[in-house]
Amino acid sequence: MRAAVVAIAAVLSVIPVGAQSKPKAPPYSAKTAWGDPDIQGVWDYKTITPLERPANFGDRQFLTDEEVKRLEANAAKRLNSPPDENSPQGLVHAPYMTDPGQKVDEDRRTSLIIDPPDGRIPPLTAEAQTRLASRRTGGRDGGTDGPENRGSLERCITWGLPTAILPGLYNNNIRILQGPGYVTITHEMVHDTRIVPLDGRPALSPKFQQWFGDSRGHWEGQTLVVETRNFSDKLPYRGSGSGMHMVERFTRTGKNTVEYQLTVDDPHTWTRPWTLSERMRTSEGELYEYACHEGNYAMHNMLEEARDGEKAAAKASVKGVSE
Amino acid sequence: MKTLSACGAAALVLSAAVASAHHSFAAEFDANAPVVLKGTITKMEWINPHSWIHIDVKNPDGTVTEWMVEGGTPNTLFRRGFTRESVKAGMEITVEGYRAKNGANRANGRDLILKDGKRLFMGSSGTGAPIDGKE
């Protein structure tokens, strides 16, 4: 094998540099009627490539052919097989009722995060660690006194950003629609829509905080750049604060492909910015409504069960006293 | 090296599995209370965020107990090939799942098996589409 590589390298070294480069495919250059790059469509971003590189891959950035084959076979098996003794307990969804994809991202990296080079979200700052510790003793602590103790996902408020555009168990789709001066991005998870102005207006005052932030866009060549700030600290992403700043870059690379890059920064939370890269494809179907509060029986059930648990505990304690 | 790659594969699958879940299993169901329910479907609620299947379970004494079983999210089930024709009232079904923590007649559906042994919400191939005629 090594001899073959050396032989190929030797052959390559005598070929003039110019002759080695393949003719490049022309960039996808479809335009809207008013002349903007056309990135409209329903885009599917599901993938089994994890956000962060599992520690045991160490510094390795790319999967081997054999690993890709095995991972995709395992994912297909998991998705198309009934649960068995190896399936973890305590899953809200049996794996075969989910839609997380069966393929690794086309660039075959070991993580979606490409920077920092270790493929992982950077460490929290000391300030963020203190903030997190106080948050845990405050609201939204997973308690069951009332719905306010539960997170935004369980309350069907919003998945928030960047969560609503990161691959998950299902609803991994967005719809992009364009009009003169605006782009809209509708996230299937939980059908939130961002209406992104492109006219260069300034960002909202930091006094305004929104669950889904506030986005502004502009074009850099064929790439749509969307900057989002004004986040609410009611919905932290892995410890983030209201100062989180997202820069997204959407580049249509073909009729059915969009390259997506996201850089997240919050100096009050992480020791450095981090960036992920993923590829989106034309969705096989439509974007569906996910009116999450429609039948959110789980909220009622969780609170009811907590009250029943308290009653049972009180009864047991009275019984204990009387004995 | 081989062991290392195997671990890597497992970790990749695992991180995808825990990526997002709509609500907490532990706050609603008891992983130590598995149930097996045999009954007849009375109603399928194609409802967000998760579907619920209602079944009548016949008890040994002849009485009937109504149960409701949590299933996948409608968008996902539809993408995997299921329509309202796939899950109908009157179908006999066996549910393996976990019961509600407070002992209510609710369960999380881990496996749903039809009378002929086929799995409900289980496709024939990669697309998981029982309506595509391949089954």
Q: Quick: pLDDT tens for B81-97.
A: 888 888 899 999 999 99
- Per-residue pLDDT tens for B15-49? 443 445 667 788 889 999 999 999 999 999 999 99
Element of type H or E holding A223:
strand A223-229
Residue B5 has what pLDDT?
Answer: 42
What is the average per-residue pLDDT within A25-51? Answer: 94
Selecting from A67, A98, A100 the residue whose C-beta is nearest the C-beta of B8 gives A67
Residue A27 confidence class, pLDDT cut points 50, 70, 90: confident
What is the average per-residue pLDDT within B58-70? Answer: 95
ipTM of the complex model: 0.82
**Does the predicted model carry a pTM greater than 0.90?**
no
Q: Are residues A81 and A201 in the same domain?
A: no
Instruction: Report helix angle A65-79 to B2-17, nearest 10.
Output: 40
How far apart are the C-alpha atoms of A103 and A71, rounded to whole Å?
A: 8
How far apart are the C-alpha atoms of A260 and A274, rounded to whole Å?
A: 14
Mark yes or no for CB contact A170/B72 under 8 Å.
Answer: yes
For chain B, which domains are there? 24-132 (2.40.50.140)
Q: Are residues A94 and A181 in the same domain?
A: no
Selecting from A82, A163, A296 the residue whose C-beta is nearest the C-beta of B119 gives A82
pLDDT higher than 80, residue B128 = no
What is the average per-residue pLDDT within A65-69? Answer: 97
How far is CA B110 from each of CA A82, A103, A258, B34, B113, rounded to the nearest angstrom?
8, 24, 36, 10, 10
pLDDT higher than 70, residue B126 = no
A60-82 burial: b if 16+ Cβ within 10 Å, else e:
eeebeeebeebbeebbbebbbeb
Radius of gyration of chain A (CA): 24
Mark yes or no for CB contact A54/B125 under 8 Å.
Answer: no
Q: Using a CB–CB cutoff of 8 Å, tell me whether B33 touches chain A.
A: no
A321 domain-assigned: no
Q: Using a CB–CB cutoff of 8 Å, tell me whether B102 touches chain A.
A: yes
Q: Are residues A124 and A268 in the same domain?
A: yes
Judging contacts by C-beta atoms under 8 Å, the chain A residues touching residue B19 are 50-51, 100, 166-169
Q: Are residues A82 and A160 in the same domain?
A: no
pLDDT higher than 70, residue A312 = yes
Can you list the positions of beta strands (E) in chain B? 29-45, 52-58, 64-70, 92-100, 106-114
Q: Are residues A137 and A79 in the same domain?
A: no
A30 domain-assigned: no
Q: Are residues A205 and A251 in the same domain?
A: yes
Check: CB of residue A225 under 8 Å from CB of residue A217. yes
Q: Are residues A169 and A277 in the same domain?
A: yes
Judging contacts by C-beta atoms under 8 Å, the chain A residues touching residue B17 are 88, 91, 95, 100, 169
- Per-residue pLDDT tens for A253-287? 999 999 999 999 999 999 999 999 999 999 998 99
Q: Are residues A145 and A131 in the same domain?
A: yes
What is the average per-residue pLDDT within A72-80? Answer: 91
For testing contact with chain B, the best of A92, A105, A113, A166 (most B CBs within 10 A): A92
Q: Are residues A121 and A94 in the same domain?
A: no
Residue A139 has what pLDDT?
Answer: 44
A267 phi/psi in degrees, rounded to 5: -60, -20
Judging contacts by C-beta atoms under 8 Å, the chain B residues touching residue A54 are 7-8, 11-12, 15
Check: CB of residue A49 under 8 Å from CB of residue A184. no
Residue B122 confidence class, pLDDT cut points 50, 70, 90: low
Residue B123 has what pLDDT?
Answer: 52
pLDDT higher than 80, residue A88 = no
> What percentage of chain A has pLDDT greater than the value 90?
73
Q: Are residues A168 and A203 in the same domain?
A: yes
pLDDT higher than 80, residue A234 = yes
- Minimal Cα–Cα distance from A307 to chain B, Å? 9
- Per-residue pLDDT tens for A7-21? 444 444 444 444 445
How far apart are the C-alpha atoms of A5 and A7, rounded to whole Å?
A: 5
Judging contacts by C-beta atoms under 8 Å, the chain B residues touching residue A79 are 128
Q: How confident is the prediction for chain A on average, in pLDDT?
A: 89
How far apart are the C-alpha atoms of A85 and A100, rounded to whole Å?
A: 21
- Per-residue pLDDT tens for A95-112? 888 999 999 999 999 999
How far apart are the C-alpha atoms of B48 and B95, rounded to whole Å?
A: 21
Q: Are residues A81 and A214 in the same domain?
A: no
Q: Are residues A171 and A124 in the same domain?
A: yes
Check: CB of residue B132 under 8 Å from CB of residue B124. yes
* Structural domain of A85: 64-103
pLDDT higher than 60, residue B6 = no
Q: Which of A20-24, A185-189, A231-235, B120-124 has the lowest mean pLDDT?
A: A20-24
Check: CB of residue A70 under 8 Å from CB of residue B9. yes
A255 domain-assigned: yes
**Number of domains within chain A:** 2
Which ranges of chain A does DSSP label H, i.e. alpha helix? 2-14, 17-20, 65-79, 126-136, 297-322
